Amino acid sequence: MATPTRRWLLPVLLVILPSGYPSSGPPAPPSEPECYRPCSSHSCSVIRCVWTPDPESDHSTNYSLHWEPTNTDDDNIKGGRSYDGLIHRENFRSHGELRVWVQAQNQNGSAKSQDALIDTEAIKKPPPPLFLSNHQGSLEVTWSVACVLQPSQGTCEVRYRAEDDQGWPQAQYEDGLHNSFEVPDPRPGSEYEFQVRCACDSSLVSDWSEIYRIRSAEAAPVGEVDVWMDCVTPFSSFDCFLTWKNLSISEARGFILGYQVTVSYSNGTVKHINVSTVDPSSVWAYDEMKWYLTSSLKRVSSVYVSAYNSIGTGNASHLVVPEPGEHTDDQIIDLQMTEENLTVSWTLPPHFPDNVKHYVVQYRECWPGRGLDWIKVDKSRRTVSFKGVFKKYTSYQVSLFVVSDSNQIRLISTAVSYSVQGVPSAVPSFNVSVIAATDVTLFWEPVSCSKRNGKILHYQIGVEHAGTQTVYNVSVTPDHGTMTYKLPGLSPGRKYKVWIRAVTAAGPGPNVTTTLKTKHVEDLGHVIHTLVPVGFLLVTIIFVALCVTRGPRKVCPVLPQCLYEKVPDPSNSHIFKHMRHQISEPLNWICIPLYEPSPKISLLEIVEVKSKALGPDRLTRSVLENDCLQMSSTDVQRGETIVEDKDRMDPRYGREEYSKMIDSDEERSEESSDDGQFSSGYEQHFMPNPLEIRQN
């Protein structure tokens, strides 16, 4: 490859230098000419001479062919000159000698080749032989030789090759002018190519004939089909597909009509598939010398594949499909890769099992590329070379497998290689997942293998703030799925610009940038010390409010009894008799407002014997009281509760709170009783009876 310095010099040189050779001096002397007389079946009318350099390749120099007879006494033949390298029949005798040379001339001078002496009879060159027919059963070919004057002596040379041979490895020399040849022990079903050339008497040898092709008779295939798996993910049967290569020509021994495929499933069922090489189908596909079944190997336990032609069927090749997860990944392989060659070598780990049948070395392009190839080698081999055209900036995954004597397959090692590396593409996505005061968590999607353009060495994350920049190198392990990185050392409440890029041996790729702002620092101790007293004060206020608030007509069983005024509970009220049924309900803890429709307030009348100490207006008192009443289920169970508080006075009236409360609907006879034998326990406890008043 030209360096950058040479790139701009090369066009200049192309402009300065003329086409052809430099013309700074006289031309170089041409080579000694070689001359012959090309003959047809009836004449040899011209002499053709060739030399180097080729006149057509040097347009700055003029070349001319010169000749003259060696016998200057022959006045009938004169010398001459031509520019096309031809000497016509009128300028030479059939039996004679000529002295021939080449003259080169340009604007700076001229040069002359060495002289060549030629015998015009000895330089005859017969035409190439012509193939006539063949006998396919024995692979025999015949040809005809056109020799002038039908001489009785001569030689012929035959060469042949099979279609998969390189060059012409086989050559056969025959004494005499034979016109046939039979291939010894030909390969069955192989196409052969033939060429022949001959010489008549003392003439020159003719040119090679045109290539003649013939196919040998077919035979049943030999050898086994090279069967393997094409897996997107190694040993994931859902992503693996059966593939196999064509048999070689020597193994096919004829035209392969198809392949018989037997698929055995884990549940015991067996399926037979006939893959035709002539009729297409959606069940299989053909791609660059390889065949594929379009259905995956999911739930497949083993496969048998055999090839057949018109004569018979070859041996079946057996492949055991490995179970998912049965593989290791020891990094024991070394890769050397160029655009034309891939060399894979490996060293087995200690205590490696010795039941090895052979190794399989595979490479494939990054999915969805189809560039898959594999080689099966003997267990004694430790290196493999692939020949081909490996694309630039393309990821090739190389895998080493071992096949045991029982045909069990195990993955040993994998590695990735590139023929030529370039800078990677941008990261597909880059975001922030968690933001804290002094750190953030970043996540991004790795560059896909088809856009990496080289082996990713690491990812670089840069943080920019206030003109400063910090760069972190992040490992590529694992190199699949979403990747995360916790970015430390940030300051609270600040804005940052963060970028990411992938790096290969060729350099870093483009940046993908995002912005973020960290959170402010919260003084949790200060918050706690502030909130706890406030909360305590709030709870206290609510509690006190509930205690001191005296809402009318409410029963508040939640609060303790000590917070209420000690109000007697008159048991002779119909309202409280009715409430006994409500108090037994499950929700008796709720403060329930009670409303008595059109309440009738009873008058408590006290009748006593006249006394001088008492005025008439002290004999009858009316007390009107409404308050929050407290009831509980225990009150219902034990009856009416009597609270003793003789000295408590009503602050509103400066007198006792209750005497006797009687519903207006009760019998008036009960009010007129003087001895109090029908008085309730409430009256006995809180109110003085008439006898006590009299005594006073």
Two tokens at 222?
């030999």
The CATH number covering residue 57 comes to 2.60.40.10
Q: What are phi and psi of 102, to 5 degrees?
A: -125, 135
d(CA 73, CA 75): 6
Instruction: Name the pTM for this structure.
Output: 0.58
Q: Are residues 162 and 236 in the same domain?
A: no
Of 481, 488, 484, 480, the residue nearest 500 (C-alpha): 484
Q: Please indicate, yes or no, if residue 526 is contained in any of the structural domains.
A: no
Residue 537 lies in a domain: no
pLDDT, tens only, 647-691? 444 444 444 444 444 444 444 444 444 444 444 555 555 566 655
The one-character DSSP state at 173 is E
Beta-carbon neighbour count of residue 248 at 10 Å? 12
How many of the other CB atoms lie within 10 Å of CB of 328?
10
pLDDT of amino acid 537 = 80
689 and 573 assigned to the same domain: yes
694 within domain boundaries: yes
pLDDT tens per residue, range 592-620 = 444 444 555 544 445 544 444 444 444 33
Provide block-wise average pLDDT over 10 residues at a time, the chain (696 residues): 37 36 72 89 84 70 88 71 86 84 89 90 88 74 74 79 84 72 87 89 87 91 92 67 92 93 95 94 89 91 95 94 69 91 91 88 79 91 92 92 90 91 94 90 90 92 91 80 86 92 94 92 57 75 68 48 52 52 48 48 49 41 38 41 41 44 44 46 57 53
Whether cis (ω within 30° of 0) applies to the bond prior to 53 is yes
User: Which residue, of 56, 90, 119, is where some domain finishes?
Assistant: 119
Same domain, 557 and 504: no
Asked whether 316 and 351 are in contact (CB, 8 A), the reply is no
Contact 363, 384 (CB under 8 A): no
Q: CB-side exposure of 412: number of CA atoms within 13 Å?
A: 23
CA 91 to chain centre: 78
Clarify whether residues 473 and 352 are in a common domain: no
> Taking CA 351 as the corner, what is the angle to CA 346 and CA 353, rounded to the nearest 5 degrees?
80
Evaluate whether residue 543 is within a structural domain. Answer: no
Are 196 and 157 spatial neighbours (Cβ–Cβ below 8 Å)?
yes
pLDDT of residue 462: 94
Overall number of domains in the chain: 6
- Please tell me whether residues 487 and 380 are part of one structural domain: no
Same domain for 133 and 109, yes or no, is no
For residues 300 and 397, membership in a common domain is answered with no
User: Of 358, 388, 417, at which residue does a domain stop?
Assistant: 417
Question: Looking at the structure, do residues 576 and 696 belong to the same domain, yes or no?
Answer: yes
Write down which residue in 68, 91, 119 finishes a domain. 119
pLDDT at residue 396, as a whole number: 92
In a domain, 313, yes or no: yes
Q: Are 161 and 170 in contact (CB under 8 A)?
A: yes
Co-location of 130 and 115 in the same domain: no
190 and 50 share one domain: no
Asked if residue 14 belongs to a domain, the reply is no
Task: Give me the sign of the Cα torsion angle 495, 501, 507, 509.
Answer: negative
CB 114 within 8 A of CB 32: yes
pLDDT score of 106? 87
Which structural domain range is residue 166 located in? 126-215
Q: What is the dihedral of CA 160, 164, 168, 172, to 10 degrees?
A: -30
Residues 163, 293 within the same domain: no
Q: For residues 69 and 151, state if they share a domain.
A: no
The contacts of residue 275 (CB under 8 Å, 6+ apart) are: 258, 259, 260, 261, 281, 283, 284, 291, 293
Residue 65 lies in a domain: yes
Q: What pLDDT does 39 receive?
A: 85
Q: CA–CA separation, 403 vs 321, rounded Å?
A: 11
pLDDT per residue as tens digits for the range 410-430: 888 889 899 999 999 999 999
Instruction: Answer yes or no: is 93 within a domain.
Output: yes
